[in-house]
A and B are shown apart, each in its own frame.
Chain A
Amino acid sequence: MSLDLATTRRIAKLARIGLDDQEIEAVRAQLGGILGWIEILDEVDVEGVPPMIGTSTNAALLPREDAVTDGDCQDKVLSNAPDREGPFFTVPKVVE
């Protein structure tokens, strides 16, 4: 299956990966190739087959008790921030 440029651009936008025209074209061609190869799955009849959820090695969630056991670690939370301001992370101004 081939992929068109508009779809490739939309995907890149959704994934927030900035690509120039040349890169978009390269990605389009490569993804197209992979998608073509994946078409082998068309052979498989999955009628009535349930999709795998998680893996079968564990059955269900094991909930934790409701207690405050974490947080209160502002220093750790902010320690790697590339541009912090006091106790805040920052981003370029968002206009809402």
Chain B
Amino acid sequence: MLTDLTIAQAAEGLRKKEFSAVELTKAHTDAVEALNGRVNAYITVTPDKALEAAKKADSTLSAGEAPALTGIPLGIKDLFCTNGVRTTAASKIIGNFVPPYESTVTAKLLENGAIFLGKTNLDEFAMGSGNLTSAFGSVENPWHRKDDASVLVPGGSSGGSAAAVAAHMAMGATGTDTGGSIRQPAAYCGIVGLKPTYGRCSRWGTIAFASSLDQAGPMTRTVEDAAIMLTAMAGHDPKDSTCADVAVPDYRAACGRSLKGLRVGIPQEYDSPLMATEKGNDILAAWKKGAKILEEAGCEIIDVFLPHTRYALATYYIIAPAECSSNLARYDGVRFGKRAEGATSLDDLYEKTRHNGFGEEVRRRILMGTYVLSAGYYDAYYLKAQKVRTLIQRDFTQAFQKVDVLLTPTAPTAAFARDEKPEDPVQMYLNDIFTVPASMAGQPAMSVPVALDDKGLPLGLQLIGKHFDEETIIAVGSALEKAAGFTARPDLRAGVSA
């Protein structure tokens, strides 16, 4: 089936004329049509635009010299502004927003020939770990526990992208990661998710959650596909002051690179959260398995210490809300978005619009952020957190003097069921415990699926690299992927069930 192909395979097939871009795209728009009613991976689908673009891709292909992603159908997280296509951030407050501009990352993908199937679902404004806060309904994880029909969450916030890729409703998808929003859903859905170094991809045109942390990245079924997509997405953008002017290598070339002599660090602090839970054993086992694979591939496995790991999550839940409270101030019902009716004054307009337009979790984070920045609390919370952040980064800098890459679990559990969602926000936040430290330090990190737990759910391992050294994590990730032989696919996917 065309929907079963990887991006690399499809690109080859297109060039060999085994099938056309229109056929490939049609297979995917059909899959989306068949499955989206249940999976809800897409908020907005654009099949007509996709097929139109596929026709163009076919002519580009026959003319030769087509860029790498020509004719490849992708899902785009509905946080990337797309010119003329509704962009909602999964929020009511901009539920009808049609940007008159294209984000840099999606523009680069378009230039590279990619075809957009639609806009994928997410936690509202990318705030969540379960895709449970979308104003457009939650996403169903295409995976299910053995002999258990419970609907599982796909993770978040890029849950729609992860589910779409896992269910073969897209060959790949863009995600954004602030504290784990690419990696954790990738782990929950058994796919690859890569968060590049902060500054690797432009943030221009991507709706901001927390500016010092947000980073776009690819979500795919293989490491090689992630490398292909990242090569197209990355690069300097003068429109984003935080985007680095660092040359973009051909990341695909790093796949299959020899790992002989590579030093892999195992952070000793990362096992304690697992010890505490009964489900942690499977994850610990997967982690050990990963280390063993890398050792056999010629890596040196070294214990390292990241002593401030235990403070990363609390630090994150000060800094990210602080930035979000300011970033989301622009949603006021004046220049765009949904304006509340019947406001009697300017403040009344703001208060009603923002109360009605934002969901509970977004409101909570805005309020939290407002609090930690407010007079009398700034030093105790925000400033303190930024200092701890320096210490967290120093941990990584020191560790990377001894090792080339770190190997950790991606998430403390496999996907959980919707009805198992904890009531306490703090319990929910704990899902990000392994992904947040790398985000705080701006390190590149990738989740790679390596095993199934005893219930048949996928588990991912995380590779964390040095700044701008995505190549090493891609090289290690592709070896890990190959040796782990993770071939399992979800029961809910294109061509299998509908």
In-complex A–B contact (CB below 8 Å): yes
Q: Which residues of A contact B (CB under 8 A)?
A: 3, 7-8, 10-12, 14-19, 27, 30-31, 33-35, 37-38, 40-41, 43-44, 46, 49-58, 61-62, 64, 73, 75-77, 79-83, 89-92, 94
Is A16 in contact with B241, judged by CB distance below 8 angstroms? no
A41-B349 CB under 8 A given contacts A33-B426, A61-B241: no
Residues of B within 8 A of A7 (CB): 371
Residues of A within 8 A of B101 (CB): 76
Residues of A within 8 A of B347 (CB): 16
Is B364 in contact with A31, judged by CB distance below 8 angstroms? yes
- Indicate which residue in B98, B308, B329, B426 contacts A44 across the interface (CB closer than 8 Å): B308
Closest 7 CB pairs of A and B: A18-B351, A51-B386, A80-B336, A16-B350, A46-B387, A82-B339, A76-B100
Chain A residue at smallest Cβ distance from B349: A92
Complex Cα distance A18/B364, Å? 12
> Shortest beta-carbon distance, A48 to chain B, in Å?
9
> Shortest beta-carbon distance, B22 to chain A, in Å?
32
Chain A residue at smallest Cβ distance from B328: A15
Chain A residue at smallest Cβ distance from B340: A18
| Chain A to chain B contacts (Cβ below 8 Å), 11 pairs | A3-B371, A15-B354, A17-B358, A27-B363, A33-B426, A49-B387, A56-B442, A57-B199, A80-B96, A80-B336, A92-B349
Is A44 in contact with B346, judged by CB distance below 8 angstroms? no
Task: Render B315-357 as a binary contact track against A, CB cut-off 8 A, 1 for contact.
Answer: 1011000000100010011111111000111111111101100
Residues of A within 8 A of B243 (CB): 58
Is B325 in contact with A52, judged by CB distance below 8 angstroms? no
List 19 additional contacts besides A54-B242, A75-B100; criterion CB under 8 Å.
A16-B329, A18-B348, A18-B351, A27-B363, A41-B315, A41-B385, A46-B391, A52-B387, A52-B390, A55-B198, A57-B198, A57-B468, A76-B100, A82-B337, A89-B334, A91-B334, A92-B346, A92-B349, A94-B346
Q: Which residues between 180 and 212 of chain B lie within 8 Å of chain A, taking CB atoms?
A: 197-199, 212
Q: Which residues of B contact A (CB under 8 A)?
A: 96-98, 100-101, 197-199, 212, 238, 241-245, 308, 310-311, 314-315, 317-318, 325, 329, 332-339, 343-352, 354-355, 358, 363-364, 366-368, 370-371, 374, 381, 383-391, 393, 424-426, 441-442, 467-468
Complex Cα distance A42/B100, Å? 46
Chain B residue at smallest Cβ distance from A80: B336
Residues of A within 8 A of B441 (CB): 55
Is B343 in contact with A92, judged by CB distance below 8 angstroms? yes
Chain B residue at smallest Cβ distance from A27: B367
Complex Cα distance A75/B100, Å? 9
A-B contacts, CB under 8 A, total:
161
Chain A residue at smallest Cβ distance from B430: A37
> Shortest beta-carbon distance, A33 to chain B, in Å?
6
Is B391 in contact with A49, judged by CB distance below 8 angstroms? yes
Chain B residue at smallest Cβ distance from A55: B442
Is A15 in contact with B325, judged by CB distance below 8 angstroms? yes
Is A58 in contact with B317, judged by CB distance below 8 angstroms? no
> Shortest beta-carbon distance, A36 to chain B, in Å?
9
Chain B residue at smallest Cβ distance from A70: B239
Residues of A within 8 A of B345 (CB): 92
A92-B314 CB under 8 A given contacts A49-B387, A58-B199: no
Is A16 in contact with B332, judged by CB distance below 8 angstroms? yes
A57-B390 CB under 8 A given contacts A33-B425, A40-B314, A41-B385: no
Residues of A within 8 A of B344 (CB): 92
Residues of B within 8 A of A80 (CB): 96-98, 335-337
Is A55 in contact with B334, judged by CB distance below 8 angstroms? no
Is A41 in contact with B242, judged by CB distance below 8 angstroms? no
A11-B426 CB under 8 A given contacts A76-B100, A82-B337, A92-B345: no
Residues of A within 8 A of B329 (CB): 16
Residues of A within 8 A of B199 (CB): 55, 57-58
Residues of B within 8 A of A54 (CB): 212, 242
Complex Cα distance A14/B333, Å? 17
- Indicate which residue in A12, A53, A89 contacts B367 across the interface (CB closer than 8 Å): A12
Is B424 in contact with A33, judged by CB distance below 8 angstroms? yes
Complex Cα distance A92/B337, Å? 16
Residues of A within 8 A of B390 (CB): 49-52
Is B311 in contact with A40, judged by CB distance below 8 angstroms? yes
Complex Cα distance A1/B79, Å? 34
